[in-house]
């Protein structure tokens, strides 16, 4: 079997969401973050719009982002539904992560529909997740409702939208088996 295929398959099958609670205090170096982001740049993109845009929050910046997300949660939640535990966990996640990357899209509505730009972002994030896994960096894509209200905080342009947060950090979790149903149950073959 081809060695490149084996390596790629192993990386794909071992990729898991690793959550901030599992991150160590070891900081992910800027050079490693750049490697992970560079892999995003090779995602498929219709009409070569390359719509992915990222803002990397580290150190004090990630704490301020966490505080803003917590503020948005509190402001947007009716008092009878507000959970202090959730509010606190929003800030804790930012503190536990080595960095938080906002996953933004620059829309090109004159060229392609929004869903294609979002699909391109998703492919870019998959590249990031696979690269992070290969570099032993834990990561996961979070999409809390508050991201819809981050436009001003992130200083996004008129044609830009935030679709999530990508938390990253070193971790000591043991590899775990993927839980997937058989692929054969998800395929229909048409031969005539």
The answer to whether residue 163 scores a pLDDT higher than 60 is yes
Per-residue pLDDT of 13-69, as tens digits, reads 999 999 999 999 999 999 999 999 999 999 999 999 999 999 999 999 999 999 999
- What domains appear along the chain, each with residue ranges and CATH number? 18-58+97-172 (3.40.109.10)
Q: What local confidence, expressed as pLDDT, does residue 65 receive?
A: 98
User: For residue 1, is pLDDT > 80?
Assistant: no
Six token digits for residue 44: 């498929």
Give the model confidence (pLDDT) of 61-108 as tens digits: 999 999 999 999 999 999 999 999 999 999 999 999 999 999 999 999
- pLDDT band (50, 70, 90) for residue 144: very high
Which residues are CB-contacts of 97 (< 8 A; sequence separation ≥ 6)? 20, 23, 62, 167, 168, 169
Contact, 156 vs 107, CB < 8 A? Answer: no
pLDDT tens per residue, range 95-126: 999 999 999 999 999 999 999 999 999 999 99
pLDDT recorded at residue 101: 98
């Amino acid at each position: 079997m081809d060695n490149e295929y084996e390596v790629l398959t192993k990386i794909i099958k071992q990729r898991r969401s690793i959550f901030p609670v599992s991150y160590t205090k070891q900081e992910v170096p800027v050079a490693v973050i750049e490697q992970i982001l560079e892999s995003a740049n090779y995602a498929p993109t219709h009409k070569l719009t390359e719509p992915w845009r990222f803002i990397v929050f580290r150190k004090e910046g990630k704490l301020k982002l966490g505080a803003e997300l917590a503020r948005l949660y509190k402001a947007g939640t009716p008092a009878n539904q507000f959970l202090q535990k959730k509010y606190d966990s929003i800030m804790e996640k930012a503190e536990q992560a080595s960095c938080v990357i906002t996953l933004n899209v620059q829309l090109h509505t004159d060229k392609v529909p929004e869903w294609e730009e979002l699909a391109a972002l998703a492919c870019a994030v998959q590249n990031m997740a696979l690269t992070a896994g290969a570099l032993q960096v834990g990561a996961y894509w979070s999409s809390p409702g508050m991201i819809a209200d981050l436009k001003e905080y992130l200083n996004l342009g008129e044609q830009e939208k935030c679709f999530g947060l990508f938390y990253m950090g070193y971790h000591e979790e043991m590899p775990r088996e993927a839980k997937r149903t058989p692929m054969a149950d998800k395929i229909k073959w048409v031969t005539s």
